[in-house]
Structure 1
Amino acid sequence: MPGEGKSGEGRSGAGGVDPERLWLRPAEPRRGRRPSFTREAITVAAVAVADAEGLEAVTMRRVAAEVGAGVMSLYSYAPDKETLLELMVDHVSAELAVPAPPTGDWRAGLKAVARLQRAHMLRHPWLPAALSTRRSPGPNTLAFLEHVLAVLRPSGLDGAARLEVFAQLTGFVAGHVGYEIAQARAALPPGRAEAEARYLAAVAADGRHPELAEALASAGSPPTPDDTFARFLDRLVDGLDST
């Protein structure tokens, strides 16, 4: 992709996105005629493409076409796809409207945060993949992080541990949502679920898999995705040590 991998605004001289330049300095177009679009418009267009078609569809050329510009004119605002991903992640983070101030029940508050994150990632199915590599938190992401750290203050954990809990929680939600999305896309054809159930029942009855037989006997009806997430979340948050 032309221009990607080169140094420019938003990148450090040693490679990688420079968070100071990206977030603390306003984006300025290069010399010449001022373009008819903004960094915000570029980001919105990229998010729309990713929401509809996935991250692989987001290229500088495609985004330039969406905003009606030549691809070279985008580089002073987003010099490469890595910078564009940073902008996209922080842009959608503005949707994470935090609830009322923390109540003091940090476990309940943390579970509310996780449910908010899950709904957010399901709206933007590309987010789990985008978050799988290290990102520099922009202003919207930092506002959400500030809320989560406040939620965790009554836990007794120190600041570093609270940051770790936030990272652990976000990783859990991203991984779970990624699995949910993959399962939804790989929906079983008619009759396949029944065939798999019969197969597992036969295996459980052969006497060689007693642990599996016990697990299947206690499984009951298949849980909903919401129920599964809630159960896993309870195990994670309730198991956190606040000492």
Structure 2
Amino acid sequence: MAGRAAEPEVIWARPERTGRGPKPAFTRADIAAAAVRLADAGGLDAVSMRHVAAEVGCGTMSLYNYVPRKEDLYELMVDAVAGEHELWEPCGDWRADMARVAQQTRSLMHRHPWLTRLMSPVYGFSPNALRYLEHCLACLDPLEAPYGMKMQLVGMLNGCVTSYVATELAAEERTRSLPWSAEQESAVRVAYFGSQVASGAYPRLASAFMEDPGPIDLEGAFALMLGRILDAFEPKN
């Protein structure tokens, strides 16, 4: 029937290559690695079916035999990066293990800055993502809570880490585009903020500023965020 929408499918349920012909010259892993290299070098906008095909050494139309849609290519990329997670033997302290998971995810996102743009629950059930989720649940074995709540914890932690890193990356990108140093920028803005606080128009902000006038400690702020999230799931006596 003309105009009928294509039926949804999962890339992982498809064979590695459709159609007849000789044995495939490369694999999905090769395609994913090529796409990740392009994204690492030039950002997500540098990834196109044409550029990926050139990277692996085939024609663009041939690539569609392996990856039907660009969305499938993105899913391959996310799965490839998920495979970089280190899966260790849990130590028995669920808070320590989940804090380690979060720190590792943050490092991974800085290594692949484009990843924050592709984070989606839709890509959460690829092979490496499933191994990652199973590992997180193993880390949470000591936590007395139903699995539904444990999945909420993992999802909340991932969401907060993604948002935190996206903010960090945006600040870094802005700093690189400035014609002056980050220190100069900060000094000017702090001086302006101080003048506004001193005006008396913002008494609560003035009190807050007097309590802690120092620069923001990003590492400390990240650790504090993790602690607050984990506190919410700590069993109440």
Q: Is the 8 A contact 1:27 1:39 kept in 2?
A: yes
TM-aligned CA deviation for residue 29 of structure 1: 4.2
Alignment-derived partner of residue 213 in structure 1 = 206
TM-aligned CA deviation for residue 139 of structure 1: 1.5
**Match of residue 43, structure 1, among 17, 21, 32:** 32
Q: TM-score, with normalisation over the residues of structure 2? A: 0.88
3-state DSSP of counterpart to 1:236: helix
Aligned length: 228
What stretches of structure 2 of length at least 5 have no aligned partner? none
Worse-matched range after superposition: 45-54 or 104-113: 104-113
TM-aligned CA deviation for residue 194 of structure 1: 1.1
User: Structure 1 vs Structure 2: percent identity of aligned residues?
Assistant: 40
Q: Is the 8 A contact 2:43 2:114 kept in 1?
A: yes
Alignment-derived partner of residue 171 in structure 1 = 159
After superposition, where does 1:1-243 map in structure 2 within 5 Å? 13-15=6-8, 18-19=9-10, 22-99=11-88, 101-132=89-120, 134-187=122-175, 189-190=180-181, 191-242=184-235
Q: Is the 8 A contact 2:90 2:97 kept in 1?
A: yes
* Inter-partner Cα distance in structure 1 for 2:129 and 2:121: 15
Give the letter aligned to residue 235 of structure 1. R
Q: Is the 8 A contact 1:29 1:35 kept in 2?
A: no
What stretches of structure 1 of length at least 5 have no aligned partner? 1-6
Post-superposition CA distance 1:21-40 (Å, at most 9, x none): x2245412422344533222
3-state DSSP of counterpart to 2:140: helix
Q: Is the 8 A contact 1:23 1:138 kept in 2?
A: yes
TM-aligned CA deviation for residue 239 of structure 1: 2.6
Q: Is the 8 A contact 2:17 2:24 kept in 1?
A: no
Worse-matched range after superposition: 142-151 or 131-140: 131-140
TM-aligned CA deviation for residue 209 of structure 1: 0.5
The RMSD of aligned alpha carbons is 2.0
* Inter-partner Cα distance in structure 1 for 2:127 and 2:121: 18
* Inter-partner Cα distance in structure 2 for 1:45 and 1:103: 35
TM-aligned CA deviation for residue 126 of structure 1: 1.0
TM-aligned CA deviation for residue 225 of structure 1: 2.6
Higher helix proportion, which one?
2
3-state DSSP of counterpart to 1:126: helix
